[in-house]
Amino acid sequence: MFESIILGITQGVFEWLPISSEGAITFLEVRFFQQLGDLSNIIQFALLLHLGTALAAIIYLRKDIVRLGKSIFAHDPNNPHTKGELRFLAVATLISGTLGLALLESIIYFEQLLPIASQGITVVVGVLLLATGLIQLKALGRGKEKKDSAALTWKDDVLVGIAQGLAVLPGLSRSALTVSTLMLRGYDDKEAFRLSFLLSIPIVLVGNIFLNVKDFVLTQNALIAIFFSFIFGLLTIHALLKLAERFPFGPIAIFFGVLVLLSAFLG
């Protein structure tokens, strides 16, 4: 139960920061809770915890979601904002879901050939955290064109979908990759964060349907973890999103990456 509470809190806080929540959960599972099972199982459990923060995001972004829902039934082709957002959500979710599933299946395949030790998993998380930080540094200061959702193109949809799909790898932050991609494409940080977290909702729901429903067993500890993920996600989403918009987290991701790598080699 203690483990479930800690992992739920970690997901609830780290989800809104451009530092990989999945990487943090994987690191805690392997290094502190000695969960030496398959990396793929840890990733699937991390995805399950995203249900809590997805519900928090639904509540926080409820006005955007209601507006999009109304536009589907109203079918207003003259509204470029809702038209662009709906296409963006559909295309990016399809691409990221396909890519994410392919990557997870590849991890399962390679684990069967050569099981990955805890030190190896820790090194992977550390290296990918470094990559997350470097990507954010590259996007720093971009987004000067101040585009909004009306400017979304098919190229934006595809690139963000690929970025989100890659984030199935623990250490690559979903928010950092998608926000950085949007900023590099000319969207300002506020709009990039809004679109990124709007996009997080369908991929979490679709991912859990495809990966966790078949062998779905909702234990008491899993419920506790999801509950704490939701509560802490709801309590922190506004403050942490505002902080992430204003504060460069690239150096912090790199710092965490170095710490994780040091923990792998120093024991």
Mean pLDDT of 189-208: 87
- How confident is the model at residue 159, as a pLDDT? 96
The answer to whether 71 and 79 are in contact (CB under 8 A) is yes
Over residues 142-154, the mean pLDDT reads 79
Domain span at residue 260? Answer: 2-266
Closest CA to 20 of 11, 28, 31: 11
Per-residue pLDDT, averaged over 243-251, amounts to 82
pLDDT top residue among 63 and 77: 63
pLDDT, position 227: 95
Q: Label residues 173-185 b or e (16+ Cβ within 10 Å = b).
A: bbbbbbbbbbbbb
**How many folded domains does the chain comprise?**
1
Q: How many residues make up the chain in this entry?
A: 267
Is the pLDDT confidence value at 211 over 60? yes
Model pLDDT, residue 36: 60
* Residue 68 buriedness (CB in 10 A; 0-12 / 13-18 / 19+): middle
CB of 193 closer than 8 Å to CB of 241: yes
Is it the case that residue 233 has pLDDT exceeding 70? yes
Percent of the chain with pLDDT over 70: 90
Give me the pLDDT at residue 76, please. 60
Whole-number pLDDT of residue 176 = 92
The whole-model pTM stands at 0.87
> Is the pLDDT score of 92 beyond 90?
yes
Count CB-CB contacts under 10 A for residue 194: 20
The tens digit of pLDDT for each residue in 104-143 reads 889 888 877 776 777 888 899 999 999 999 999 988 877 6
What's the pLDDT tens digit per position in 24-67?
Answer: 998 888 888 876 657 888 888 888 899 999 999 999 989 888 88
Give SS3 for 77.
Answer: coil
pLDDT tens digits, one per residue of 153-195: 999 999 999 999 999 999 999 999 999 999 999 888 888 888 9
Residue 112, pLDDT score? 78
What's the pLDDT band for 267 if we cut at 50, 70, 90?
A: low
Average pLDDT, the chain: 86
Look up residue 213 and give its amino acid: V
The pLDDT, as a whole number, for residue 75 is 59
Spatial neighbors of 57 by CB under 8 A, at least 6 apart, are 197, 198, 200, 201, 233, 237
| Residue recorded with tokens 């990557």 | 103
**Which residues is 29 bridged to in the sheet?**
none
For residues 47 and 45, give the distance between their C-alpha atoms in angstroms, rounded to a whole number.
Answer: 5
Lowest mean pLDDT among 10-19, 43-52, 215-224: 215-224
